Amino acid sequence: MIDRLRRGALGALACAALVVPASAGVIDHGVWKVERTVLPYWQVGDVDKTLSRACSLGTFNQRVPFYLAGHFYGPFGSALLGAAKGTGLNLWDPYKRADAQHDYWFYRDRTSSCIVMTAKVKEAADTGPPPAVPQPALATLPGAPPPATR
């Protein structure tokens, strides 16, 4: 009787292993590397002591650590920093301290020695619409083909 129960339990376990996918319970959050440079990590922005303290207390952090990341791999100041946008992308900010015009970089996030650095978002250059006709400077280059005529 015991042997029959043991075989039945092993058979049920084998069937359950076939039905459940191998990746059950595994969550892949992924990493987007937004920056990769040989510069030291402390040149990414200015240290904000107020936000660093809030980060240490768990009230200003990344939603998913290293979802947005900067990889600084130079000989001095190499580190992997987590990033968040001031618009709220990957940012946990229940007290609304973030500014939409800044990016936030986290060094040692979710620890008591967290450091938050801020960097102002650069304005995109307004280049205007693309030219509708060939530019005269391109047509006068030596060796350039003659302009098309209609």
Which residue range is the domain that position 75 belongs to? Answer: 27-120
Region 13-34: what's the mean pLDDT? 52
pLDDT at 38: 92
Q: 50 lies in a domain?
A: yes
What is the mean pLDDT of the segment spanning 64-85? 92
pLDDT above 50 for 130: yes
Measured between alpha carbons, how far is 34 from 82 in angstroms, rounded to an integer?
Answer: 10
Contacts for 81 with CB less than 8 Å, ≥ 6 apart:
41, 44, 69, 70, 72, 105, 106, 107, 117
Average pLDDT estimate for 97-104: 96
Tell me whether residue 145 is in a domain. Answer: no
The predicted model gives 124-139 an average pLDDT of 65
Number of domain units in the chain: 1
pTM listed for this prediction = 0.64
Residue 127 within any structural domain of the chain: no
